[in-house]
Amino acid sequence: MVKQVYSYYNRNKTREAMDFKYCPNCQTKMILKESGGQERPTCTACGFIQFQNPLPTVCVAILDRDHILLGKRAEPPGEGQWAIPSGYIEFDDDFISTAIQEAKEETGLDVEIQSIFNVISSFYSPKYHFLVIYVIAQVVGGEFQAGDDMSEIAWFPIRGPLPELAFKEDIDTIQAFANQREHVILIREP
């Protein structure tokens, strides 16, 4: 079974710290008002409602036979530990083009995305709730070199041993993939 929700802190006690105090549109003091079944910071002047949405990200599991490519993180979170190459999905980008771009930036490799393996919610900290799409990719070209926020990259046997990984999500997803490769959603180009 592939796990889908990870929580690193008590989510019920931290909501208030992220609420806007003043409206980002008109600078009026915000008040808490019910909207969509819960209290949300709301502007009484212009009607702006602060919704807190997860940050969409993609993790690129680059595979070569029974090995997976991991990168050693050069920056927090997880600095000095290993992780699956990943990145934020920008507003104008789709998850497939983001995965290809992140793989290139962090590993120097050109990849072809083959399938989706997992989608998770990671409540990493009060400031970071990630919605992560794990995709499976194969190398089609490029030059093997660490870049962007990876200080080093290396191939590891998918069944281990693995280096010290920064994120429990990566550990569980790699283990699940090693045990159930047939459970994927194939990518079809439009």
Which domains, ranges and CATH numbers included, belong to the chain?
15-43 (no CATH), 55-186 (3.90.79.10)
- Characterize the bridge pairing of strands 109-125 and 55-64: unpaired
Six token digits for residue 179:
């045990």
State the pLDDT confidence band at 132, using cuts at 50, 70 and 90: very high
- % helix / strand / coil in the chain, to the nearest 5? 15, 45, 40
What digits encode the pLDDT tens for the residues 143-161?
Answer: 999 999 999 999 999 998 9
Model pTM score: 0.83
pLDDT at 18: 65
* pLDDT one-digit tens code per residue, 105-116: 999 999 999 999
Tokens of 45: 């002047």
Across residues 52-65, what is the average pLDDT? 93
